[in-house]
Chains A and B, each alone.
Chain A
């Protein structure tokens, strides 16, 4: 049990929700998704995101299409599916619940 490990676990837990939230607004190029996550300090090395995207896609929450690019080969764009939106709703609800429960416990430990 060390801090780094817990940190990794926490990040991992919210990563899917963050990816779905990003894509809920617009379809995005894979590298842009990663850049956003990286800038938000949610991801340290990029290699970890690809398996996650593939898993979300295989679960039917994401779909992708190819788009021609004027610099280099065609780019893979991910978009959220209706099932993905539903799943995201569920994630958001449980996130709000956890958030509330945690802050209640932390700020008022004796009454929880």
Chain B
């Protein structure tokens, strides 16, 4: 189950999954900041939004709801903030200093937050979340500790249940970054989006090779 939102992206009315929405929102905010100093920034963003709407809408095909993959592949066409930075186009764009500044001043959240990690879990991701929080390399140690507590006095079970109830799951990219303790800024988001893309590529390849094998 997933929440959806209806947005107007460059004139296209789209229904997005929450995940998809968060990525799109973060992407556009990052770009707006990136173009912030450029002449005609508002207009550039308008054009990019219109194009993004067009791309996402095309990706969506005849599904009702836009998924994360649709947004990510639109971003791949438009270019991640990282790529745009590297293929510097504008004279009088950004000097090196300015670029560094935008990296540092843009961080809105630092420090870690405790989340459960749904991508590395045995039961509910409590132990991997805890080890991320305390900087323990391998969650297996936390798991052993819980197991010992359970065998010893049974408190492990109670604690675990409490954690499930009290600690939220890290569902979005920004939540995952907070869990890992990376500040959410231009570069980390760019990297996360890139990882998402790589991941997507791998999954597609996998599916493709499975199909082949069936034949």
Contacts and interface: CB of A to CB of B under 8 A. Distances in A.
Indicate whether A and B interact: yes
Given A54-B39, A54-B40, A72-B54, A47 B48 contact: yes
Contacts of B93: 51
A74 B90 contact: no
B12 A44 contact: no
A50 B135 CA distance: 42
A88 B20 CA distance: 42
A2 to B, nearest CB: 12
Scoring A46, A48, A51, A55 by chain B CB atoms within 10 A of each residue's CB, the highest score goes to A51
A45 B50 contact: no
B54 A46 contact: no
B51 interface: yes
Given A51-B44, A53-B47, A46 B78 contact: yes
Given A72-B11, A72-B57, A50 B48 contact: yes
Contacts of B48: 47, 50
Contacts of A50: 44, 47-48, 51
B138 to A, nearest CB: 38
A45 B51 CA distance: 13
Nearest to A44: B87
Contacts of A8: 86-88
B89 interface: yes
B16 interface: no
A34 B161 CA distance: 54
Interface residues of A, number: 23
Interface in B38-55: 38-40, 43-44, 47-48, 50-51, 53-54
B25 interface: no
Given A46-B77, A47-B31, A51-B89, A73 B12 contact: yes
A18 to B, nearest CB: 13
Contacts of A47: 31, 48, 78-79, 83-84
Contacts, number: 75
Nearest to A47: B79
Question: SS class of chain A's interface: helix, strand, loop or mixed?
Answer: helix
A41 to B, nearest CB: 13
A81 interface: no
Contact of B51 (A12, A31, A52, A58): A31
Contacts of A73: 10-12, 50, 53
A76 interface: yes
A35 to B, nearest CB: 11
A72 B14 CA distance: 11
Given A31-B51, A46-B77, A54-B44, A72 B87 contact: no
Interface string B116-137: 0000000000000000000000
Interface string B133-161: 00000000000000000000000000000
Interface of A: 8, 12, 15, 30-31, 34, 44-48, 50-55, 57-58, 72-74, 76
Please name the 10 residue pairs, one residue from A and one from B, whose CB atoms are nearest each other, closest first: A45-B79, A73-B11, A47-B79, A54-B40, A50-B47, A48-B89, A47-B78, A50-B44, A47-B84, A45-B83
